[in-house]
Structure formats: structure tokens, C-alpha cells
Amino acid sequence: MTTPPPVSSEHDDAPSSGGRTRRLVGVFVLLALTVFAADQLTKVWALANLSERQWQPLIGDWIQLTLVFNPGAALSFGTGMTWLLTIVAAGVTAVVIRSARRLGSRGWAIALGLLLGGALGNLFDRFFRDPGFARGHVVDFIDYFGWFVGNVADIAIVVAAGLIMLQTVRGIRLDGTRESAPQASSELEGAPSTDSSGA
């Protein structure tokens, strides 16, 4: 008879007590607010100092600065569905905030904090920038190799996606628990031993 694999946790990602959860939620909120502030402040700077279709080198010709008003999603996809993208971004924001109540992992707290800050940064543009409420264009100004133009919020979202994938590959759940023993090992431990001597 086999038993299901035990669930364990690493020292840094142990299931949270009430105090640990509050600390992780604090990290999550602080990081989200920091990303949001950095995103909006850099956009204010870009609007005051950059012009459309004019490029300023930042790291050689690889990464340059220019002003772009993006009505669509990443890489300017969905330019005719700004209102729909606003709804999707608002939904993602709500899900992330709700998920924070279960935080028991520092890695997840950082990932979700980055994700929330980035989502709020671009969502603010959708709601409050021209041409109108829920139809605003996102301010982008960092040109990567001439392939696409993004902003600080986009950087945070990409880093968050990478951290989420890493946590998933490591098997760490949102509450910090993880499976430490595969099913095969449990089956071997429960199997009867055999004597290879033939005696």
C-alpha cells in the first residue's frame, strides 16, 4: 500500500503563521507601491523631456529613449481594443490582490508585488491619460534594439513572470509549501525488499 508524497517546505518558504503572512504582505505592498511610483515618475520625466519619433541613446544604439503612446498591449498588439485591455488589467489586479492573503513564500511576495506594481502603472495610464477614461494610451519610452518600446511597469511585469515560472518549476506554492518527495520514491519505500543472493 502506497502513501501520497509528503508535503514539506523549505526554511525560507515555510507555511506562514499570521505574523509571517503580515510581513510578506507588507513586502508585497511596499514593492508594488515602489514599482508604481517609479513607473509614474519616469513617465512624467519622459513626457517632459522626450519627443515622439526622436531617439536619444541610452546604451549605445541598443537601448534608446523615445516617446510612444501605446493604445494596445505589449508590442502594440490589440490597438483597437483599449477598453478590453483595461478590463483585463483590472481583473488581473484584483486577482493578485486577493491572492496576497495566502502569501507564505518570500519569492511569491516579490513576484506578486512586481506584478501588481507593473499592472497598476499601466492601468493608471488606461484610466487617466488621453484620449479618455478607460481608453487612455500607455506611455512607453524605452526602445529595445528597435524591436519594441516599453516602460518601467513592463520591466517589472517581465521580471515577475520570470519569478513566477521559477517558483512553479521549483514546486513552491503560494503559501510556501512544496512537494519534497516524488511518488516513485514513496512507492519504492513501501515495496517489499528482495534478497539478490538467491538464498
User: Is residue 61 annotated as a catalytic residue, yes or no?
Assistant: no
Q: List C-alpha distances in Å: 48 to 12, 14, 15, 69, 122.
A: 43, 46, 47, 14, 18
The single residue of 13, 125, 140, 143 carrying the catalytic annotation is: 140
Angle between helical axes of 18-49 and 152-170 (0-180°, round to 10) = 150
How far CA 36 is from CA of 66, 183, 199, in Å, comes to 21, 43, 72
Buried (b) or exposed (e) across 1-11, using 16+ Cβ within 10 A?
Answer: eeeeeeeebee
Which among 130, 154, 175, 195 is annotated as catalytic?
A: 154
Q: Among all residues, which ones are annotated catalytic?
A: 140, 154
